Amino acid sequence: MDLFDLTGKVAVVTGGSRGLGREMVLAFAKAGADVVIASRKAEACEAVVAEVMATTSSRALAHPCHVGKWDDVEVLADAAYAEFGKVDILVNNAGMSPLYPSLGAITEALWDKVMDVNLKGPFRLSVLIGDRMSAGDGGAIINVSSVAGKRPTPVEVPYGAAKAGVENLTFSLSRALAPKVRVNCIAAGPFLTDIADAWDMELFEASARESIALQRGAEPGEIVGTALYLASDASSYLTGAVIPLDGNFR
């Protein structure tokens, strides 16, 4: 179990106040890491800080940030280093996939927003923190992609294109930041986070029985094992990989 120990490490998680991000924040803290929780709403970040402080001995910092804005991610990186002196783990988890009535109704503003949050932000933050990791003791970057990166549906065309870019970025940065920084990606299938509240669950469950080998959506906590593996020394010889965490979705 020492392979998964994160004692003395510092982790930054974007989209860390809810859903999969919150699960990873709590898992890293329980494994011994100090954590930086970044998302757009300060109150939501503070709530997870309180949860970390109440359930672990780790330190936690809340930092509101819009990852689609170049200047915001620079401030986030600087805040993490100012508070903890280093970053060992970066999780680019923040994402968005707005609904649209038709492809022709996709505006330039919607397209740019999806690309900014899902692709531009992870690139910039990975470079800002990855360069400092390379100059120091190294580290691990985990990108969160989606099955939509390879098999998008008609209702997630911009999102799928952005996530395909994230997977491409994973490989290119794994080469550019080597050998001291490892960069890997989790390609997530359907997770039953609060996003699923808007789903027709009867329809989803029927579809899952046909399209997912495990015949169900994932519980949010099922991200934790893979995230701990990629963040820790357990994956010390793995970089440039995209790991499908989708119950064998087709």
Region 50-61 average pLDDT = 98
Q: Residue type for 225, please?
A: G
- What is the pLDDT confidence band of residue 201, given thresholds at 50, 70 and 90? confident
Dump pLDDT digits (tens) for 86-142: 999 999 999 999 999 999 999 999 999 999 999 999 999 999 999 999 999 999 999
* Domain extents in the chain: 2-243
Q: Quick one: pLDDT at residue 173?
A: 98
Q: Quick one: pLDDT at residue 199?
A: 79
Region 1-30 average pLDDT = 96
pLDDT at 153 over 90: no
Q: Quick one: pLDDT at residue 198?
A: 75
Residue 228: CB atoms within 10 Å: 21
Average pLDDT across the chain, whole number: 95
> What DSSP assignment string belongs to the chain?
-GGG--TT-EEEEETTTSHHHHHHHHHHHHTT-EEEEEES-HHHHHHHHHHHHHH-S--EEEEE--TTSHHHHHHHHHHHHHHHS--SEEEE--------S-GGG--HHHHHHHHIIIIIHHHHHHHHHHHHHHHTT-EEEEEEEEGGGTS--TT-HHHHHHHHHHHHHHHHHHHHTTTTEEEEEEEE--B-SGGGGGS-HHHHHHHHHHHBTT-SPBPGGGGHHHHHHHHSGGGTT--S-EEEESSSB-
Question: What residues does 145 pair with on adjacent strands?
Answer: 187
- What is the pLDDT confidence band of residue 236, given thresholds at 50, 70 and 90? very high
E strands in 162-228: 181-188
Q: Which residues are catalytic?
A: 159
Q: Quick one: pLDDT at residue 179?
A: 98
Q: Is 2-243 in CATH node 3.40.50.720?
A: yes
